[in-house]
Amino acid sequence: MANWKKIGWISGISAGSLAGLWFLTRGVVNKTEYIKQLQSLASRLVSVPSAKIHKVDLTGLTIRVDVQLKNPTLMGFKMQYPFIKMQYAGETIGSSSPVNKTISIPPSGEAKIEAIYFNFPLRSMLTLIKSLLVAQQSGSAVKLDILTESTIDPLWYVNPKTGLWKARSDYGFKQLHTIPFEDKKEITLKKQEDK
């Protein structure tokens, strides 16, 4: 009789151990999938840049760039204020100033970065400005490449009722705090708006 009690006790421990192992494995698999989703945020974020001539005068040319960032995922995140580069004919002709600011993008939401100005003095960029202005005056499209660079910190959660942001656990993966984001888009420079 004593042996049957031992067998029952051992099988109870085995069943409990198997159940515990099942839940542990399930938790690890769920967290692994969650980490993969976090790392794929950068490839799913969409940037929509636009550029137009802001002013042309004796001091040079000023181009205004706006960038709309769209998050089609169900996960909110924060990201470093984007660094913008402007390229013409394969060469970088200007870049924005680095800004030490964090922007928040809610799930299925967007953020707009407005009024990034690129100033091109006549003396230093005469040939570039001439080719841009000639193409603009002749009515042909001026194609520019806008490169948007930033880092995403996906370990944030926004409460839909209160709108407050809370930090999530990184599960020991510190590299999740800095997922690089880079997007290059070709745009057509728009004419200066009449005032």
Q: What is the DSSP letter of 194?
A: P
Taking a C-beta distance cutoff of 8 angstroms, is the pair 164, 158 a contact? yes
Read off the tokens for 172: 């020991």
- Give the model's confidence band at 112: pLDDT under 50 very low, under 70 low, under 90 confident, else very high: very high
Longest dimension (CA), the chain: 104
What kind of architecture, by CATH, is found in domain 45-188?
A: Sandwich (2.60)
- 3/7 Cα distance (integer angstroms): 6
- Which of helix, strand or coil describes residue 13? helix
More confident residue, 152 or 135: 152
Phi, psi of 154 (to 5 degrees): -80, 0
Q: What is the DSSP letter of 124?
A: T
More confident residue, 37 or 85: 85
Mean pLDDT of 157-176: 74
Read off the tokens for 52: 């137009």
Percent of the chain scoring above 70 in pLDDT: 70
Which pLDDT score, from 0 to 100, does residue 11 have? 54
Which pLDDT score, from 0 to 100, does residue 92 have? 83
Lowest mean per-residue pLDDT among 29-43, 83-97, 110-124, 147-161 = 29-43
Average pLDDT, the chain: 77
